[in-house]
Amino acid sequence: MAVQIGAVGVSLILEIDKISTNGDYDVSSASTKQIILKDPSGNKETKTAQYFTDGTDGIIYYDTEAGDIDEAGEWYYQGYIVKGSAIFYTPEVMFPVRANL
């Protein structure tokens, strides 16, 4: 997925898998669900994630807003979930951002 600087409404979708199982992890009762964005300069910004359905499928997402994607280069995003005393991170996902003409 490549996007352009200034893109709004890009869905950053992540699946939370419990390390000890091979299936999806139910995050419907998570007290915290976030997506961390890291720009090419290394700056990080934390965004509140939404459930893709109801959280029982382990899928969260964030739709980019105006001002989120403001630099060309390799961007990364990662999920962060807190459920009870458990804390889960997803692997990082890279996506390229291209400059506009």
Per-residue model confidence as pLDDT tens digits over 55-70: 988 899 999 999 999 9
Rounded Cα gap, residues 4 and 20, in angstroms: 37
* Residue among 23, 10, 12 nearest 57 (CA): 23
Provide the number of structural domains found in the chain.
1
Confidence band for 20, pLDDT divided at 50, 70 and 90: very low
Mean pLDDT of the chain: 90
Q: Which domain holds residue 68?
A: 3-98
* Residue among 8, 14, 7, 31 nearest 81 (CA): 31
We report the CATH number of the domain holding residue 19 as: 2.60.40.1930
Percentage of residues of the chain with pLDDT beyond 90? 66
pLDDT of 1: 74
